[in-house]
Amino acid sequence: MSRQSVTLTESNNTWLNYHVESVGDYSNKSELINDLIRRARRAEAINQKLEKAENSHFVDQTSDEILAEFKSSINK
C-alpha cells in the first residue's frame, strides 16, 4: 500500500477526528479517507456512465440493472 502525507485544514481534521473518535465506524483516519475515496470513485463512475448514456440518447440497461451493477461494485 502506498504511504502518503497530506495537509488538512483545521475544520477537515476536526471532522475526521470526530468520525474516527466519536462515531466509531473507523479505527483511524486512513480507513475513513480510503472509504471516502472509494465513494468518490463510485460516484465518478456513475456520473460518467450517466453522461455517456445522456450523450448517446440510448441506454441498453434498465435503471434497475444500472443500480444493481453499482451496488454489486460496492463490495469490491
Give CA–CA dist 51/29, Å, rounded: 32
What's the average model confidence in pLDDT over 13-37? Answer: 94
Site of grid cell 451496488: 71
Q: What is the mean pLDDT of the chain?
A: 88
Look at residue 20 and tell me whether its pLDDT is greater than 90. Answer: yes
Task: Give 57's DSSP letter.
Answer: T
Look at residue 26 and tell me whether its pLDDT is greater than 70. Answer: yes
Q: Kindly report the pTM of this predicted structure.
A: 0.66
Please give the pLDDT value at position 56.
Answer: 81
Asked if 57 and 63 count as a contact pair (C-beta separation under 8 A), the reply is no
Helices in 8-28 by DSSP H: which ranges? 10-18
Give CA–CA dist 45/73, Å, rounded: 11
pLDDT tens per residue across span 40-71: 999 999 889 888 887 786 777 777 888 888 88
